[in-house]
Structure 1
Amino acid sequence: MIQGAQRVDASASADTRAQPLILHLIDELKIGGAQTHLVTMLREALAAYPVAHRVVALFGDGPVAGAVRDMGVEVDVLDLRPHLARRRFLGAARVLDRLICAHRPDVVEAHLTWSRLLGLYAAWRAGVPRRIGFEQGDVYLASWKFRLANRIGQHFADQIVVCSHALADWSRRTHGISPRRLTVLHNCVDLTRFRPGAGRSEAGAFGLPPGTTVFGAVGTLGRGVDKRTDVAIRAVAAARARGNNVALVICGDGDQRPELEALAAGLGVSPWIRFLGTRGDVPDVLAACDAFCHAAPFEPFGIVCIEAMAAGLPVLVPDSGGIREAVDDGVTGLVYPALDHEALARLMGRLHERPDLRRALGHAARRAAEGRFSARGYVAQLYELYNLARHTS
């Protein structure tokens, strides 16, 4: 692990390598939406374009690094936390500057907050021709210092990619990012990983009795990014109180889990709530569900929702955030007022009572995922933004 400046093999410099190099900066390689998105992009790009890739993790290794390396992409693991702990922000940027100068990439793209704030500045100092930032909508980092840093940092980027028009509006209002620097590209999903199940109502896969309508949910249970899983648990309790045989399976873990388990117990629905923890087989879990439930009141876009759509599931989503741009109410899913667990419970009951509606919405959801959110289409648009057409024709 690199804490400061260490020698980096620069033998494949821009002058000698046959292919252009894209350097991907990301804060960390834990399991999460930004990391899933990066892996999906890399997999499609490697298959479609003769371009080299390298990933740099700013704050240590993580489980996603293995998936990146398995694709033949090298990963540089840094540990810039000591710099940030001592508020040596320029020192952290200099570490990135030296690494970028060693690799001499044609494009630097930066995911997540610190990669964008430090990495794009370092790439600008290093003279990288194209510098692309990905704004993920860090609503939990809204202090004036972060707003000011984002306002200044935009000037080191050629373009800042946002995953929804809602996030573009938020970026303009909150960070003062110029509209001319913003490009909206809806997130994508690897359609080959998600297939509609051969049959639904497979409650037995979760130890639930036949006839149970199973709703899936995916997301962290940590305090830093509150997905409001409590709303979904309360909705299950309300739906069951009305006589609807519904259950919820949750993929994800974090320090809120004990509280959520206690909530389920207090509401008397523990037998109908399955906490699966962090899972590497989310496509298989979704294939065994009947529908998908999302409760976070603000999502820049919500990759997990389009993954559920790709799996052929109807999705229940709140009427806020970027996910509303993906879900057509009454066609690919159903929309409810954000944080209203009673309204969500009514929709759960409706899908439980109407298996024909579940099937119709699920079929339409899969078609929408294929037509609007494929990795192939996304990466093609991204490569136009990179201005690498001369290398890939």
Structure 2
Amino acid sequence: MRIVDVCAFYTPHGGGVKTYVERKLKALPALGHEIIVLAPGRHDSVERRGPGALLVTVAQPTLPVDRRYHYFTDRNAIHDALDAWRPDFVEASSPWSSATKVAQWQGSAPRALMMHADPLSSYAYRWLGGVASRARIDQMCGGFWAHLRALDRGFDLVVSPGASLSRRLGAGGLEKVVTVPLGVEPGIFRPGRADPDLRRKLFDRLMLAGDGIILAGVGRFGAEKRWPMVVRAVAQASRRRPVGLVLIGAGGERARIVAAAAGCSHIEIMEPTANRGELATLLASCDALVHGCESETFGLVASEARASGLPLIVPDRGGAFDQLGAGAGLAYRAGDQTALRDTIVRLFDAPGAFGGHERAAARVRTMDQHFADLTERYAALVPGAAVVPEWTVTPRFVEALSA
């Protein structure tokens, strides 16, 4: 099959979407498919990523709230690109307006909506959760639920990466939801990457006693991630037990996070690294992962931590909570700083909290397993599709490909 992924929130600057896309560009050709990732960008470009894999950008405006991103405003730009690349199957990877534009395309190829984002949890539930129940918030957001149901009608599949999100989408009236969990990059995250020298350096930098524990936090510094709450909870817990935090990320909330960490010598805020091996070594050298976001659709970082042999401290809702199997860590009430502080303290006394995770780490699902399951579902909707031997495109894209 030739698959075109209309990926509205890809940026070369990093993040979970980039991790997913980069692996996809390798995994799908290995499965015998062509993959074209179509993203909004600064200018039109076509980049070869090996046999059967292209990263294509279409010139679109910069996203005002985060200038690292661009966003699709032009429906014709998407439709022209789909007409040019002649896909056997089309994905839309965001439930925003770009998905509506994909649903409106007049081509015959079947299509799937990938729910890589959970806007209701990221915004409405977080903003209004203190004053209204989820049922009441869903009523208040009836327009968005109507939008999701319209997308459900316009696509052949709605792919959810987590069981909890699938249940909510089904309860909201969507009828084509299937659950295809994501996974971690194969061969990178594992307990054996732990580095004793790095661990000693972290203990020194965090000013921890020898019997202390190091928590890792990884993710974009966005409001929905609740990092200021996590930082304050760790600072409070450190007054009771020897616990420190290494927080890795970047984004608009950095100033608030730094302010929340002020005065606590047991917290270090680090810049993200593009080297996945370095991140895997850092995770494996810590004692547990702490997470603040209840709006994750899958919880990729939580899965990477599990693959690294770490227990989890996660909110009791969302994709990160889906990762919390028996004995894999502890959950706390989402959005509750005091509950998080107490859960961090409780981890010190939890039976087997820091042992026995190596065997479970080997069973963590990989991204390649995810892509194999995903394309199997797609192939069932594209009978007789065959890989096109050469890229077949309109002249404008041929020129970009040759540049």
Regarding TM over 0.5, the answer is yes
Native 8 Å contact 1:58 1:115 kept in 2: no
Alignment partner of 1:333 is 2:329: yes
In the TM superposition, what is the alpha-carbon distance from 1:258 to its structure 2 partner?
1.1
Greater RCO structure (CA 8 Å; 6+ sep): 2
Alignment partner of 1:192 is 2:177: no
**What are the residue-to-residue correspondences of 1:1-393 with 2, within 5 Å?**
20-30=1-11, 31-47=14-30, 49-60=31-42, 69=49, 73-81=53-61, 92-112=74-94, 113-122=96-105, 125-128=106-109, 130-135=110-115, 136-139=117-120, 140=122, 146-174=144-172, 176-178=173-175, 181-199=176-194, 202-206=198-202, 207-209=205-207, 211=210, 212-223=212-223, 226-242=224-240, 244-265=241-262, 268-269=263-264, 271-281=265-275, 282-329=279-326, 331-352=327-348, 357-360=353-356, 362-369=357-364, 373-387=365-379
In the TM superposition, what is the alpha-carbon distance from 1:171 to its structure 2 partner?
2.4
Native 8 Å contact 2:294 2:320 kept in 1: no
For 2:53 and 2:221, the matched residues in 1 are separated by: 30
Question: Which has the larger share of helix?
Answer: 1
Aligned residues: 348
Q: Quick one: structure 1 residues 196 and 169, their matched pair in 2 at CA, closer, same or farther if it must change by over 3 Å?
A: same
For 1:233 and 1:220, the matched residues in 2 are separated by: 14
Q: Quick one: structure 1 residues 352 and 83, their matched pair in 2 at CA, closer, same or farther if it must change by over 3 Å?
A: closer
In the TM superposition, what is the alpha-carbon distance from 1:232 to its structure 2 partner?
1.7
For 1:72 and 1:352, the matched residues in 2 are separated by: 49
Give the match for residue 395 of structure 2. Answer: none
For 1:58 and 1:146, the matched residues in 2 are separated by: 23
Q: Quick one: structure 1 residues 302 and 53, their matched pair in 2 at CA, closer, same or farther if it must change by over 3 Å?
A: same
In the TM superposition, what is the alpha-carbon distance from 1:279 to its structure 2 partner?
2.2
- Deviation string 1:111-163 (CA, Å, 9 cap, x unpaired) is 123432222322xx1222x2111013222466665444333222221101001
* Structure 2 residue ranges without an equivalent (≥5): 65-70, 125-140, 388-403
Q: Quick one: structure 1 residues 73 and 218, their matched pair in 2 at CA, closer, same or farther if it must change by over 3 Å?
A: same
For 1:217, what is the secondary structure of its paired residue?
strand
Native 8 Å contact 1:83 1:92 kept in 2: no
For 2:238, what is the secondary structure of its paired residue?
helix
For 2:377 and 2:42, the matched residues in 1 are separated by: 29
Q: Quick one: structure 1 residues 389 and 290, their matched pair in 2 at CA, closer, same or farther if it must change by over 3 Å?
A: farther
- Deviation string 1:335-388 (CA, Å, 9 cap, x unpaired) is 22223333333433344467953122x32541441xxx2223222211221116
| Fraction of identical pairs, as percent | 26
Native 8 Å contact 1:196 1:311 kept in 2: yes
Q: CA RMSD in A?
A: 3.1
For 2:63 and 2:293, the matched residues in 1 are separated by: 33
Native 8 Å contact 1:227 1:296 kept in 2: yes
In the TM superposition, what is the alpha-carbon distance from 1:108 to its structure 2 partner?
0.8
- Deviation string 1:274-317 (CA, Å, 9 cap, x unpaired) is 11123223223212211101111332221110011111111111
Q: Quick one: structure 1 residues 314 and 191, their matched pair in 2 at CA, closer, same or farther if it must change by over 3 Å?
A: farther
In the TM superposition, what is the alpha-carbon distance from 1:53 to its structure 2 partner?
1.2
Native 8 Å contact 2:215 2:288 kept in 1: yes
Q: TM-score of the superposition, structure 1-length normalised? A: 0.78
Q: Quick one: structure 1 residues 333 and 141, their matched pair in 2 at CA, closer, same or farther if it must change by over 3 Å?
A: closer
Give the match for residue 6 of structure 1. Answer: none
For 2:361 and 2:73, the matched residues in 1 are separated by: 47
Q: TM-score of the superposition, structure 2-length normalised? A: 0.76
For 2:349 and 2:311, the matched residues in 1 are separated by: 14
For 2:302, what is the secondary structure of its paired residue?
helix
Q: Quick one: structure 1 residues 287 and 90, their matched pair in 2 at CA, closer, same or farther if it must change by over 3 Å?
A: closer
Native 8 Å contact 2:193 2:281 kept in 1: no
Q: Quick one: structure 1 residues 325 and 356, their matched pair in 2 at CA, closer, same or farther if it must change by over 3 Å?
A: closer
